[in-house]
Amino acid sequence: MKKTIFPLLLITLLCGFTKSKSPLTGLWEYRGGLFNGKQDTVSTSYKLQRTYNDLHYEAKVIEKGQKTFIYEKGDYKLQADTCFETQTYCNQPSKLLGKTVKYIYNLSNDTLKLLATLPNGNKIEDHWVKVK
């Protein structure tokens, strides 16, 4: 009996130390938001999508009849209700490259809201819906 209990306790203990999956993991699609207090609508000619894994994110543009391209990549870290994103790649010149932006994030059902004041002072609130 003792030989059976010890391995079970050890397995239970080790399983408790497995890294938990980030709540952002998955594919998200942009659904609008606010830019300096004004409504930012979703384009009808293209889609913006973000994919998060446990450490990194990748953002792409999907436009009908065009090749999908990655416009941004980066690293992120979650602490409580805060998401710190550091852009490591951008397909256009960017003042955010290599800088960490602090977002307050909120998850409700399948919707992710990211709120931040960018380094240039612009206030944003992005709404993303989980695709998968």
pLDDT at 20: 64
Instruction: Kindly list the structural domains of the chain, giving each domain's residue range(s) and its CATH number in brackets, ordered by start.
Output: 21-130 (2.40.128.490)
pLDDT at 132: 86
Whether pTM exceeds 0.85 = no
Mean pLDDT split into 10-residue runs, the chain, 132 residues: 46 47 96 95 95 98 96 98 98 95 96 96 97 91
* Residue bearing tokens 């209990």: 5
**Rounded distance between C-alpha atoms, residue 38 and residue 80, angstroms:** 28
